[in-house]
A and B are shown apart, each in its own frame.
Chain A
Amino acid sequence: MTAVTAPLRPPIWRRLVGFNLLTGIVLGIGGWYVGWFGAHAVVGPSLDYFGDVDYNELSVFMAYIGGVVGFLIGLGFLNYPARRLLGYPPSLREKETGGWARYFGLCTDHKVVGIQYLWGIGLFFFIGGLNAMLIRFELLRPTHQVFSGGTYLTLVGMHGTMMMGMMSSGILGPFANYLVPIMIGARRMAFPRVEALTFWLLMAAGAILTTTIFFGGFPTGWTGYEPLNVQAAAGMDCYILFFALAGISMTLLGLNMIATIVTMRAPGLTWMRLPIFVWGVLSTASLMVLAAPVLIAVLSMSALDRAAQTTFFSASGGGSNYLYENLFWVFGHPEVYILALPGFAIVLELLPVFARKPLWGYRLAVAGLLGVTLLSWMVWQHHLFVSGINGDLRPFYMLSTELISIPTGFTFICGLMTLWRGQIRFTVPMLFCLAWFFNFLLGGLSGVFLSDVPSDVTTHGSFFSMAHFHYTIMGGLVFTFFAAIYYWVPKMTGWQLNETLGKIHFWTMFVFFNSTFAPLFAIGFLNQPRRVNVYAHTLQFLNDWVSVSAFCLGTSMLIFLFNLVWSLAFVKKPALANPWASRSIEFQLPSPVPVHNFDRIPVFSSDPYGYGEGPVPQWVPAGAPAGRD
């Protein structure tokens, strides 16, 4: 192979001028003001910004829309569409050169986008985690301590919204973007610019949500229920814009994933040879493509109610707040599986590697993933059991919710049978996978209480449901997110993470996660309501226990952060190309993977799970990668 090395780097001032993050931020701020003044010019004569008490919702919406457009212009996202409008032909790639600069702008290398996602989502995950710490700090005492009721609600809302919105792309963003093209033997995603756009839209969304505190926050929690929504201060607009942008990002991410998997698989990679991780991505992506547009639609209605005086959700104006609740949960429940399914897929992908056995029941596992995907559309009204829905609807939704445990059980069976009589290696990624079994089992079993109408009526608004979804989402997704980090980051960066620190991180996280959330089941049964920062004095001991555990859980995240920075920035121990002796194709490539992935498109002749079934598959010599040595 003849490779062209990137030319000598220009001076730093030259690199700062051009389409990059810095320009994006500058134009984003400029666009914000253009939108703000523009909307004021349209709606009214007032130009007294910030000190303005008669601001209007339109100005807030237009300011942020202007900001996002400016941000994207600064990053260079409008150059290509502009050239296409002038008639220039299509192209695929931009700025796939070497060097650091590509991480701070529009880059169409799927591996760069994956790493951008990892750091970007990590940043907002950290902010969301800090919110959680503040919430638990407030709950150390049963009466008001630091925050007012409104501020406390904003903290709860920001934590929930940030985590749900960002972590929806928590696996697909970093890991699927990085790995799916490699796993299917392709050199790119179907639409590389769209792939980059999904990341930068999500970052813009995160920044918008963070600024809600300048506009009075929002009192609705992550669900944004009406009529609180339409009555809230301008901070609510930030929530609406955040979720709408995250929804657009999710839709495009899902679309890109499906198009990639369906149209770009290498020769020989039949559906039944597809890595189970890719099946998980495909299931999740299909939910994203279909569910996120409903979210965008309902938030658009909400924005119109606030800015254009429509009455979608106002009963006195011919609307209904139940409309919001229904549409939100048509998205909201598939969203739960958008979060959970990638976790299932990671566990099933990693278990064979560390049990040294083929994946048990591959077809059953695929059926489980697809079954969950299908059934997740039929359960949304269980979120409305206590909202006064027609009683006749309850049995159906109770049954459909409980049915979903069957395909979920397939995943459990396949995982457990893969472990059975395996030669298990207790590496850090494997420990996180094993923890998933315990956590998700508790999350699933407590879910039965919430799917049954009689028990749901008593537990719905309490900390019980909060404990349940933290067991499923944090126990199911975040643990597997860390499994994926420890498993794939050495491949992605070329540097090894410290194993001892990783194990300390795991054990502290596992112990304090359970110590934080298990008592919340009891607190919920004792009727402590969610989203309120005062509670009965008799519950103070349990609450203090939970808060202290939560602080320790937060500390375990700092151990991880230290490990990451220490290992990648200071120790820099080179990772082996295949540190886990995996048979998956990404581990047959050098670390980090070259820009073009493969010299020749590989030909697949088997699935990647044949541990103990002879030598490495044939596709390795057929697709011999271009090394960097």
Chain B
Amino acid sequence: MASADVTQESVGYEILEGEPPELLGRNLVAAGHLLAGATAFFFVAFVFAYFYLRSLNSAGMWKPKGVDSSVGWGTAIVACYLLSALLVRLGLADHLALRRDQWRLKGLAALLIGIVGLVLQVIGWTQQGFGPADGGFASVYFGWTAFLFLFVLATLLWLEMTLATSLRYRKIPTGAPPPGHAAGDRHRERHDIRDPLSLVRAELVALSFYWTFLAGIAVLTWIVLYLI
């Protein structure tokens, strides 16, 4: 490797800085859709496991006596996820209509309701009356809901990030935040994205799509694990 060269290599900061925010916006929206595709295939494995093991019913241990998930808990959890996703969609509509205060309120509510859903899920696990070792259904139930929990948690963290940026800079909705506010290279003087605060909208578009998609998976979970 060119050691002498790389140590003296110049960095065209003036070229790198000030990238139009639309580019990262497009990246984010595309990533939201791709992430949904990856998530779908992840949960397809659990759907496959459910129907495969159910049809085999090995040793009569698919659903032994006493193993049945509580529809009440399932409904409450999925309702929270759905409501949270709906609020984010409504928040996006507010943001598009430049009602940013309304978006922030709805975003906060969506975050809280999502967290309630997660807490209900944790309590729900302790109230089912069966454990992960109690047969095929129990395995699928705990595995599937545990990973849905993790996906929802990650999505809520994403929501928190978007909301926190929107709240922190509520008095300067567009334009450049003060120097040093964007993380990154210490040699840099300006932000690498021109008007990074305008990206809240693109993040919200991507997040809203993904959260709605995940809520759809939660509905599927409810049908398969609680209703059928």
Contacts and interface: CB of A to CB of B under 8 A. Distances in A.
B56 A320 contact: yes
Contact of B12 (A84, A88, A312, A596): A596
Interface stretch (A198-206, A300-308, A578-586): A300-308
B193 A92 contact: yes
Interface stretch (A20-28, A155-163, A285-293, A354-362): A285-293
B149 to A, nearest CB: 13
B160 A85 contact: yes
A425 interface: no
A538 interface: no
Contacts of B138: 310-311, 318
Nearest to B11: A595
A614 to B, nearest CB: 31
B2 A494 contact: yes
B184 A92 contact: yes
Interface residues of A, number: 83
B58 to A, nearest CB: 4
A236 to B, nearest CB: 18
Nearest to A599: B15
Nearest to A187: B16
A90 B182 contact: yes
Contacts of A5: 8, 10-11
A83 B180 CA distance: 12
B171 to A, nearest CB: 13
B1 interface: yes
Interface residues of B, number: 82
A97 B11 contact: yes
Given A98-B10, A293-B41, A263 B23 contact: yes
B31 A255 contact: yes
Contact of B143 (A81, A97, A304): A304
Contact of A318 (B57, B131, B146, B177): B57
A259 interface: yes
A90 B25 CA distance: 11
A495 B160 CA distance: 47
B27 A190 contact: yes
A103 to B, nearest CB: 8
B178 to A, nearest CB: 10
Contact of B135 (A88, A311, A493, A592): A311
A90 B38 contact: no
Given A85-B157, A289-B37, A318-B58, A190 B11 contact: no
A259 B183 contact: no
Contacts of B137: 318
B12 A100 contact: no
A9 to B, nearest CB: 7
A326 interface: yes
Contacts of A289: 34, 37-38
B132 A87 contact: no
Contacts of B62: 318
Given A89-B181, A191-B27, A595-B12, A297 B42 contact: yes
Contact of B38 (A99, A260, A290, A309): A290
A93 B222 CA distance: 41
B199 A312 contact: no
Contact of B161 (A4, A85, A115, A255): A85
B142 interface: yes
Given A88-B182, A294-B42, A4 B143 contact: no
A318 B135 contact: yes
B49 A312 contact: yes
A42 interface: no
Nearest to B30: A259
Interface in B4-33: 5-16, 19, 23-24, 26-27, 30-31
B187 interface: yes
B165 interface: yes
A311 B133 contact: yes
A54 interface: no
Interface in B58-81: 58-64
Interface in A60-97: 79-81, 83-97
Contacts of A191: 27, 31
8 contacts: A4-B14, A4-B187, A84-B164, A87-B167, A264-B27, A311-B135, A319-B58, A323-B52
Interface of A: 1-7, 9, 79-81, 83-100, 115, 187, 190-191, 251, 255, 258-260, 262-264, 289-294, 296-298, 300-301, 304-305, 308-312, 315-320, 322-323, 326-327, 330, 493-495, 568-569, 572, 592, 594-596, 599, 626, 628
Q: Which 5 pairs from chain A and chain B are nearest by CB?
A: A318-B61, A318-B136, A87-B168, A297-B45, A87-B164
